[in-house]
Amino acid sequence: MNAQESFASQPFTAVEVIAAKRDGGRLTPEQIAWTIAAYTRGDIAEEQMAALNMAILLNGMDRSEISQWTAAMVASGETLDFSGLRNRAGAPLPTTDKHSTGGVGDKITLPLAPLVAVFGAAVPQLSGRGLGHTGGTLDKLEAIPGWRADVSHDALLRQLSEVGAVICAAGGNLAPADKKLYALRDVTGTVESIPLIASSIMSKKIAEGTGALVLDVKVGSGAFMKTEERARELARTMVALGKDAGVNTVALLTDMSTPLGLTAGNAIEVEESVEVLAGGGPEDVVELTVALAREMLEAAGIRDADPAAALRDGRAMDVWRRMISAQGGDPDAALPAARESDVVYAPADGVLVGLDAMAVGVAAWRLGAGRARKEDAVQAGAGVRMHAKPGALVRAGEPLMTLLTDTPEKFASAREALAAAVVIAPEGSRPANRLIIDRIA
């Protein structure tokens, strides 16, 4: 077949699809399926898909369009199937997963996955690496000596059956259309489109094959969604996409104006997660871990479970140790520590009413805990250790934060990021404090 015959056999052209959405029209299921398949195999040029992305950003998509777009991205690659999963006794294992839209100090996945597995659910948590001010779950876990993120499909199934939880890297063949689209959106100013954000997240989660999904949609200065209105719209869109695909999906809107816990980094977040698994840890990390565990278990059909008790009595810690060991890690090994530290002191007496999540995240990133490009390396020991959270009474000259890095020349830029991060008010003041804002189902 020559080029002219090949072109003539196409049911649509990219220009037709772009024009339809540019003019405010609704794309048909056939147009969407063809567009995603053609773009994935390279038959639609990058500039054409960039134009279509911009048309979607400006004119939006209805629920049916977003659902079809997501399904087409799922169909662009392989999907995982956990329907035959059994535990060691041969009983069926329901699968349940959690996705966070990202934030600062968000180490919740680490204690959450083993906690949920305590109650007979399987947690196939396919995670990613950090970019910019948001930390990556895999970067944190790779601070544990020997731990590996890459797990084969057979090893994944075996570990779910024997341990109940896996946190690992997603395979490259899950929703490959999303990988291309995400990179394109990043350089064409179309990242903010809610239909494209929702389909990006949900195509990967649906392709993972889990039966239930709980979404932790962050809102605030340290989140991708800065306003509650936008976060709520994203949550509702993703919950609808999950339901359309047959995945029992709920979402929690949670605050990310203040960092979660008292650490932002890699090894130091692992350390804090282990404290939570040992029955301690910061109150906000424990609260959100338990709330998400309850939602995941409920979504998987497991009721009357008490996640808080499983943290206190050591059952979750037992699963954590088995999960880390199964992926080559040593749960007893000392974690990497930064060679250099620098203390930030309270400038005045009063009540700490503000600790800006974005500022802390940027500081941790500049210290070496994050990366500016996907190819960049991270420092396992770098980050920010916080000594007070909003609501605490502080005195001038007391330590507020300790900055950690192997490269002390980075302290100046980290301090620059923190210049306006701290708000201290007169004694008696109370900070706004609502960790869990709403539940959407």
pLDDT digits (tens, 9 = 90+) for 368-386: 998 777 777 889 999 999 9
* CA dihedral over 99, 100, 101, 107, signed as positive or negative: negative
Instruction: Point out the catalytic residue in the list 99, 129, 140, 205.
Output: 99
Q: CATH class for domain 3-75?
A: mainly alpha
pLDDT, position 370: 84
Instruction: Name the pTM for this structure.
Output: 0.93
Alpha helices (H) along 278-390: 283-299, 307-312, 315-326, 357-364
CB count in 10 Å sphere of residue 389? 18
pLDDT at 4 over 50: no
* Spatial distance between the Cα atoms of 345 and 386, rounded to a whole number of angstroms: 11
Calculate the CA 130 to chain-centre distance. 9
Question: What pLDDT digit, counting tens, does each position of 311-342 carry?
Answer: 999 999 999 999 999 999 999 999 999 999 99
Q: Where are the domains of the chain?
A: 3-75, 96-326, 340-425
Instruction: Point out the catalytic residue in the list 98, 185, 205, 389.
Output: 185
Instruction: Point out the catalytic residue in the list 76, 100, 127, 200.
Output: 200
pLDDT at 432 over 80: no
pLDDT, position 131: 64
The better pLDDT of the pair 229, 7 is held by 229
DSSP state of 204: H
Confidence of residue 132 (pLDDT cuts 50, 70, 90): low
In this prediction, residues 346-362 reach a mean pLDDT of 96
Question: What pLDDT digit, counting tens, does each position of 154-213 carry?
Answer: 999 999 999 999 999 987 789 999 989 988 998 898 988 999 999 999 999 999 999 999
Question: What pLDDT digit, counting tens, does each position of 21-68 carry?
Answer: 999 999 999 999 999 999 999 999 999 999 999 999 999 999 999 999
Q: Examine the residue annotation and report whether 438 is marked as an active-site residue of this protein.
A: no
Confidence of residue 364 (pLDDT cuts 50, 70, 90): very high
Please give the backbone phi and psi of residue 169, each rounded to the nearest 5 degrees, phi first.
-75, 145
What mean pLDDT value characterizes the chain? 93
pLDDT, position 154: 93
* Spatial distance between the Cα atoms of 215 and 235, rounded to a whole number of angstroms: 8
Q: Examine the residue annotation and report whether 200 is marked as an active-site residue of this protein.
A: yes
Question: What pLDDT digit, counting tens, does each position of 382-419 carry?
Answer: 999 999 999 999 999 999 999 999 999 999 999 999 99
pLDDT, position 110: 98
Confidence of residue 428 (pLDDT cuts 50, 70, 90): confident
pLDDT, position 6: 43
Q: Please list, residue by residue across 115-147, b when 16 or more beta carbons sit within 10 angstroms of its beta carbon and e when fewer do.
A: bbbbbbbbbbbbbbbbbebbbbbbbbbbbbeeb
Closest CA to 423 of 355, 344, 357: 355
* Spatial distance between the Cα atoms of 214 and 230, rounded to a whole number of angstroms: 18
CB count in 10 Å sphere of residue 273? 25
* Spatial distance between the Cα atoms of 388 and 386, rounded to a whole number of angstroms: 6
Question: What pLDDT digit, counting tens, does each position of 234-263 carry?
Answer: 999 999 999 999 999 999 999 999 999 999
Question: What pLDDT digit, counting tens, does each position of 218-234 carry?
Answer: 999 999 899 999 999 99
- Is 3.40.50.1100 the CATH number for 96-326? no
- Which tokens in the block code for residue 230? 């936008």
pLDDT, position 26: 96
pLDDT, position 89: 80
The better pLDDT of the pair 176, 128 is held by 176
Q: Examine the residue annotation and report whether 127 is marked as an active-site residue of this protein.
A: no
Q: Examine the residue annotation and report whether 98 is marked as an active-site residue of this protein.
A: no
Instruction: Point out the catalytic residue in the list 178, 244, 255, 356.
Output: 178
In this prediction, residues 59-84 reach a mean pLDDT of 95
pLDDT, position 11: 86
Q: Examine the residue annotation and report whether 99 is marked as an active-site residue of this protein.
A: yes
pLDDT at 3 over 60: no
Q: CATH class for domain 340-425?
A: alpha beta
Q: Please list, residue by residue across 217-228, b when 16 or more beta carbons sit within 10 angstroms of its beta carbon and e when fewer do.
A: bbbbbbbbbbee
In this prediction, residues 96-108 reach a mean pLDDT of 95
Instruction: Point out the catalytic residue in the list 21, 129, 180, 204.
Output: 204
